[in-house]
């Protein structure tokens, strides 16, 4: 494993077509008081975790099913999930941290571990801000769904029941994030075998962030995918700090195509260009256009890659 010593910043742009990326408890897409739709950080972390799990990584904070009393199936609690991964119960903070730092989601996102035996919290290097929908013409619809079964809770029911599916025709969520390896530095030297945040964990995050939403092919998420991803890595040990980058990327639309203008991002980076190690921009040129004239003029390493395959575009 290679230790990562540099900070990174970026954006994940999630498009949702005829889908419901993040519903509230009424089933409608989450929105603020002013009507602006948004997606929580949990809505993005969930498909990333599912992707990691399917790739064979250890993932702690994910729903799993266990056999309960009398062989009934039930959702695992935290202790049961821990035991299923490590084959032992949590007994003390030291050993518990040693184990959970082997989980890619804990190493990236952190988490709170609270059982009767152990109570500890870890702040992860990767921190997301909720993603705002920047497409202003979103329409939310409801679809009736006929069940082939009658409702047995109603004695008079003799026909199939009708359910509802709520979806949005089109949304574009912009999630800013930061990566700070120092968030787990305090545990170095205290936990056996733990040497800090790693390049491998960061690469797993990048891959999961790009492909997780697309891979989560559920009924309401089938139309969700990442259309744009930006990763700005600073030099090792750089003291430079950047704000949330969503304020420096302007998104407009022409028909079905989204246009990401990175001129303001270039203006921001021009003042710290000596601290910038690399800029990676992932997108799908079939439905996304990027405007990068100012960014290309900077004396920094900029790479353009296909968001789904990772292949170089130019």
Pick the residue with more confidence: 68 or 12? 12
**Mean pLDDT across the stretch 51-69?**
93
Q: What is the DSSP string of the chain?
A: --B--S-EEEEEEEEEEEE-SSB-TTSSBPB-TTS-BEE-HHHHHHHHHHHHHHTT---SSS--EEE-GGG-EEE--HHHHHHHHHSS----HHHHHHHHTTSHHHHHHEEEEE-SS-EEEEE-SEEE-PEEE--TT--EEEEEEEEEEE-TT-TT--SEEEEEEEEEEEEEEEEEEEE-GGGGGGGTTTSTT----BHHHHHHHHHHHHHHHHH---TTTTTEEEEEEEEEEEPTT-------GGGG-EEEEETTEEEEE-HHHHHHHHTTGGGEEEEEEEE-TTTEEEE-HHHHHSSS-EEEEETTT--B--
Distance CA 31, CA 23 (A): 9
Pair 90, 113: CB distance under 8 Å = yes
Residues 258-294: pLDDT tens digits? 999 999 999 999 999 999 999 999 999 999 999 999 9
Residue 70 falls in which region: left (phi positive, over 0), alpha (psi -120 to 50) or beta: left
What is the rounded distance in angstroms from the CA atom of residue 160 to the CA atom of residue 113?
A: 44
**Which residue, 98, 97, 1, 111, is CA-closest to 45?**
111
Residue 79 has pLDDT above 90, yes or no: yes
pLDDT recorded at residue 154? 64
Asked if residues 140 and 167 have their Cβ atoms less than 8 Å apart, the reply is yes
Tell me what pLDDT residue 217 has: 81
pLDDT of residue 219: 79
- Rounded distance between C-alpha atoms, residue 216 and residue 65, angstroms: 19
pLDDT in tens, 20-36: 999 999 999 999 999 99
Mean pLDDT of the 41-52 span: 97
The percentage of the chain sitting over the pLDDT mark of 90, rounded to a whole number, equals: 82
Tell me the β-bridge partners of 233: 8, 278
pLDDT at residue 200, as a whole number: 98
| pLDDT tens digits, one per residue of 134-158 | 999 999 998 887 777 766 666 655 5
Pairing of strands 288-291, 257-261: parallel
Q: What mean pLDDT is predicted for residues 40-67?
A: 96
**In this predicted model, what pLDDT tens digit does every residue of 223-244 receive, in sequence order?**
999 999 999 999 998 999 999 9
Flag whether pLDDT at 43 surpasses 60: yes
- Give the separation between CA 70 and CA 194, rounded to whole angstroms: 40
On the question of pLDDT at 124 being above 70, the answer is yes
Q: Pick 69 or 248 by higher pLDDT.
A: 248
More confident residue, 314 or 141: 141
The full set of domain ranges for the chain reads: 8-66+126-137+168-306
Q: What's the pTM value of the predicted model, to 2 decimals? A: 0.93
Token pair recorded at residue 284: 């799908």
Which pLDDT tens digit goes with each residue over 170-222? 999 999 999 999 999 999 989 988 999 999 999 999 999 999 999 998 878 88
> CB burial class (10 A; 0-12, 13-18, 19+) of residue 199?
middle
Summarize pLDDT for 86-117 with one digit per residue, the tens. Answer: 999 998 999 999 999 999 999 999 999 999 99
The pLDDT assigned to 286 comes to 93
């Amino acid at each position: 494993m290679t230790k990562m010593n540099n900070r990174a910043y970026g954006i994940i742009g999630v498009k949702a077509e005829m889908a419901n990326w993040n519903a509230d408890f009424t089933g409608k897409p989450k929105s603020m008081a002013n009507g602006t739709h948004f997606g929580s950080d949990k809505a993005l972390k969930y498909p990333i975790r599912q992707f990691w799990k399917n790739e064979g990584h250890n993932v702690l904070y994910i729903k799993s099913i266990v056999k309960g009393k009398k062989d009934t199936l039930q959702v695992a609690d935290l202790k049961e999930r821990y035991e299923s991964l490590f084959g032992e119960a949590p007994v003390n903070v030291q050993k518990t941290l040693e184990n959970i730092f082997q989980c890619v989601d804990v190493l990236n996102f952190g988490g709170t571990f609270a059982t009767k035996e152990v109570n500890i919290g870890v702040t992860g290097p990767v921190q997301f801000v909720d993603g705002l929908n920047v497409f202003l013409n979103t329409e939310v619809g409801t679809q009736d769904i006929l069940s082939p079964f009658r409702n047995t809770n109603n004695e008079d029911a003799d026909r199939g029941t009708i359910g509802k599916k709520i979806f949005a025709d089109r949304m574009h969520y912009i999630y800013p994030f930061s990566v700070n390896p120092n968030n787990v530095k305090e545990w170095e030297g205290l936990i056996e075998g733990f040497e800090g945040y790693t390049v491998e964990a960061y690469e797993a995050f990048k891959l999961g962030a790009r492909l997780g939403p697309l891979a989560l092919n559920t009924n309401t998420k089938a139309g969700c995918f990442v259309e744009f991803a930006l990763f700005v890595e600073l030099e090792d040990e750089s003291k430079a700090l950047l704000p949330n980058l969503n304020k420096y990327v302007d998104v407009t639309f022409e028909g079905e195509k989204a246009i990401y203008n990175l001129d303001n991002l270039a203006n921001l980076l021009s003042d710290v260009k000596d601290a910038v190690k690399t800029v990676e921009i992932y997108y799908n040129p079939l439905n996304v256009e990027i405007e990068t004239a100012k960014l290309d003029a900077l004396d920094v390493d900029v790479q353009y890659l296909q968001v789904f395959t990772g292949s170089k575009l130019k």
